[in-house]
């Protein structure tokens, strides 16, 4: 599938390691990646369609009845690696080379692999350049009855330099206080800046934001990262780009984007989603 590009961004259909090796050193301001999590499962999302039907099995607003039809499964991929760390390490080494001296990496992973990946990142970026472990917490999906249900991912934030990096907290969205009556009306109305635990729902399977791509991440999480950690016209790279959320967040916040994925279906979804920016 041919790549598409504009002055604002580019979507590239390619195997990412080979493509990364063609990029100049110190050429991008921020890298966000959400690689496969090595869950051992096939990742897919079932597409559903809700149709108004007097004989339907669901009742909506005003007593209107609906039925739900299952459509064909959307894009899928096998999330299994014999050597996940051997797969990810050379890509992280390239990420370090490509980042500008003030640049940052946001590495999105789940708790199964996060501690192993952090050791590798400490080796590549050095431990003083580790800035935060951000916990993205959500409350959606099935509940386990045999252990505490897993409802969070980990985002590891590393910088190229231990102290010289972009962090514009004033640009961050604000959230509600959990106990607004304890802080007073003025503070409660203003809200507070987030901590390293980010509560944000997943992309709803029936919401307007959905693309049908499995493991799609919500725009709100990427908006927060890019507003705080980049400046307008900075270049943002995502080389496990999937559904293109990084590109949409970049474009909406006047940042340039470079998206790479080896899946033809992912590239098709991104090109459709980002058509007005390409």
The residue range of the domain holding 238 is: 4-277
Percent of the chain with pLDDT over 90: 72
* 12-60 residue pLDDT tens: 999 999 999 999 999 999 999 999 865 444 434 444 455 666 766 655 5
pLDDT in tens, 144-163: 899 999 999 999 999 999 99
Among 43-47, 72-76, 197-201, the least confident range: 43-47
Q: What does the pLDDT read at residue 62?
A: 53
pLDDT of residue 139: 86
Average pLDDT, the chain: 88
Looking at residue 25, its pLDDT comes to: 98
Q: Which two tokens stand for residue 9?
A: 């961004």
At 32 the pLDDT is 98
In the predicted model, what is the mean pLDDT of residues 172-182? 93
Instruction: List the CATH number of the domain containing 142.
Output: 3.40.50.150
Q: What is the C-alpha end-to-end distance of the chain, expressed in Å?
A: 15
d(CA 116, CA 32): 18
Q: Quick one: pLDDT at residue 266?
A: 95
User: What is the pTM assigned to this prediction?
Assistant: 0.84
Question: Distance between CA 247 and CA 142 in Å, rounded?
Answer: 30
Q: Give the three-state DSSP class for 58.
A: strand
Q: Which residues lie across from 31 on neighbouring strands?
A: 105, 237
Give me the count of residues in the chain.
278
**Contact assessment for residue 153 and residue 136, using Cβ atoms and an 8 Å cutoff:** yes
The answer to whether 178 and 155 have CB atoms below 8 angstroms apart is no
What's residue 4's pLDDT? 85
In the prediction, which pLDDT does 59 show? 55
Q: Work out the pLDDT band at 261, boundaries 50, 70, 90.
A: very high
- Per the model's pLDDT, the better-predicted residue between 36 and 165 turns out to be 165
Token pair 């400490």: residue:
122
Domain count, the chain: 1
Determine the average pLDDT of the residues in 180-199.
Answer: 93
Determine the pLDDT at residue 57. Answer: 62
Measured CA to CA, the distance from residue 241 to residue 243 in angstroms comes to 6
If you average pLDDT over residues 112-131, what whole number do you get? 96
- Dist CA 85 CA 113 (whole Å): 9
At 52 the pLDDT is: 64
3-state helix/strand/coil string of the chain:
CCCEECCCEEEEECCHHHHHCCCCCCCEEEEEECCCCCCCEEECCEEEEEEECCCCCEECHHHCEEEEEEEEECCCEEECCCCHHHHHHHHHHHHHHHEEEEEEEEEEECCCCHHHHHHHHHHHHCHHHEEEEEEEECCCCCCCCCCCCCCEEEEEEEECCCCCCCCCHHHCCCECCCCHHHCCHHHHHHCECCCCEEECCCCCCCCCCCCCCCCCCCHHHHHHHHHHHCCCCCEEEECCCCCCHHHHHHHHCCCEEEEEECCHHHHHHHHHHCHHHC
b/e code 200-231 from CB counts within 10 Å (16+ = b): eebbeeeeeeebbbbbbbbbebbbbbbbbbbb
Tell me if 30 sits within 8 A of 236, measured CB to CB: yes
For 223-234, how does the pLDDT look when each residue is reduced to its tens digit (9 = 90+)?
A: 999 999 999 999
Query: What pLDDT is stored for residue 276 in this prediction?
Result: 95
């Amino acid at each position: 599938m041919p790549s598409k590009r504009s002055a604002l961004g580019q979507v590239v259909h390619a195997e990412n390691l080979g493509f990364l090796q063609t990029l100049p050193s110190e050429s991008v301001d921020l890298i966000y990646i959400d690689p496969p999590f090595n869950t051992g499962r096939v990742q897919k999302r079932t597409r559903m369609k809700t149709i108004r039907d007097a004989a339907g099995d669901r009742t909506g607003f005003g007593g209107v009845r609906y039925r739900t039809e299952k459509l064909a499964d959307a894009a899928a991929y096998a999330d299994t690696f014999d050597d996940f760390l051997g797969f990810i390490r050379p890509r992280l080494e390239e990420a370090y080379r490509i980042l500008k001296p003030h640049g940052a990496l946001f590495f999105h992973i789940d708790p199964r692999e996060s501690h192993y990946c952090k050791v590798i990142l400490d080796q590549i970026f050095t431990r003083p350049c580790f800035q935060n472990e951000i916990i993205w917490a959500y409350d959606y999906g099935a509940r386990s009855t045999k252990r505490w249900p897993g409802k969070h991912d980990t985002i590891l934030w590393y910088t190229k330099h231990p102290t010289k990096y972009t962090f514009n907290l004033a640009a961050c969205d604000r959230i509600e206080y959990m106990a607004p009556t304890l802080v007073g009306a003025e503070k409660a109305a203003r809200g507070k800046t987030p901590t390293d635990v980010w509560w944000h729902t997943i992309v709803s399977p029936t919401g307007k934001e959905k693309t049908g791509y499995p493991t799609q991440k919500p725009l709100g999480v990427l908006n927060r990262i890019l507003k705080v950690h980049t400046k307008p016209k900075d270049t943002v790279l995502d080389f496990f780009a999937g559904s293109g959320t990084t590109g949409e967040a970049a474009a909406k916040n006047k940042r340039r984007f470079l998206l790479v994925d080896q899946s033809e279906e992912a590239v098709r979804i991104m090109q459709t989603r980002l058509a007005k920016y390409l």
